[in-house]
């Protein structure tokens, strides 16, 4: 079965890897991305739409695809405020999911986070948990949520704290401790999402960090 895919967050770590992999995947005849700024490069299968994420509904027709991959996400440091963070990690994600379902998408695959919990006292985890609950309530035929730990990859911006955390958790996981929190590469998460899209499990499925590593590992 040949399908069309849409990627949100295509300029991020996982999103970039995902676009590259989807373009090489023969089951997809078309890969669409929505971006704020011009996309560098072209491909026969790639369709690019520059958007204002605050007005996603204006681009509803672009969401007429089979599978939607959502890798949207920011940090408090980048967002600058809780309100701005919430707008990216909750509002944009839920609106994209809503638009996709209304346009006939059958599957929504979204990157969340370890510790996502709507009842958490921590704003980051709480936001991720609320996003998951809102997307689940939409009733997608297939919803797949991914809970990666620290993301390891070549970031454009310097996140010294994150780099230190990755090094520490890599060391700890090699010692056999806290293995479920071992850092995972952007390529591994992207591959896990792409392969999970072919799994015909209906309803809501959540992949924890160890499951992401196992599914996305290069054979």
Catalytic residue among 4, 59, 124, 181: 124
Handedness of CA 138, 144, 145, 151 (dihedral sign): negative
Contact between 150 and 165 under an 8 Å Cβ cutoff? The reply is yes
Taking the C-alpha atoms of residue 51 and residue 7, their distance in angstroms, rounded to an integer, is: 13
Let me know if 187 is a catalytic residue: no
Taking the C-alpha atoms of residue 112 and residue 90, their distance in angstroms, rounded to an integer, is: 10
Taking the C-alpha atoms of residue 181 and residue 210, their distance in angstroms, rounded to an integer, is: 8
Handedness of CA 187, 170, 124, 161 (dihedral sign): negative
Look at residue 16 and give its three-state secondary structure: helix
Report the phi/psi class of residue 144: left, alpha or beta, with left for phi > 0 and alpha for psi in -120 to 50: beta
Q: Which element (helix H / strand E) includes 67?
A: strand 67-70
Let me know if 128 is a catalytic residue: yes
Taking the C-alpha atoms of residue 155 and residue 196, their distance in angstroms, rounded to an integer, is: 25
Catalytic residue among 69, 86, 90, 128: 128
Active site residues: 124, 128
């Amino acid at each position: 079965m040949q399908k069309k895919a849409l990627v949100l967050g295509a300029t991020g770590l996982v999103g970039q890897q995902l676009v590259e992999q989807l373009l090489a995947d023969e089951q997809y005849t078309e890969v669409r991305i929505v971006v704020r700024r011009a996309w560098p490069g072209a491909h026969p299968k790639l369709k690019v739409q520059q958007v204002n994420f605050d007005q996603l509904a204006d681009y509803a027709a672009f969401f007429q695809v089979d599978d939607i991959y959502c890798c949207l996400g920011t940090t408090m440091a980048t967002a600058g405020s809780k309100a701005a963070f919430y707008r990216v990690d909750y509002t944009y994600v839920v609106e994209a999911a809503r638009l996709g379902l209304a346009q006939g998408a059958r599957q929504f695959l979204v990157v969340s986070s370890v510790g996502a919990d709507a009842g958490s006292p921590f704003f980051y985890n709480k936001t991720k948990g609320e996003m998951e609950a809102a997307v689940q309530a939409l009733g997608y035929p297939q919803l797949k949520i991914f809970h990666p730990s620290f993301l390891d990859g070549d970031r454009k911006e310097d996140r010294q704290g994150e780099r230190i955390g990755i090094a520490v958790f890599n060391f700890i996981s090699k010692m056999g401790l806290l293995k479920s929190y071992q850092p995972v590469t952007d390529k591994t998460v992207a591959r896990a999402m792409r392969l999970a899209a072919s799994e015909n499990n209906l309803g809501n499925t959540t992949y924890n960090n160890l499951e992401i590593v196992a599914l996305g590992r290069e054979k």
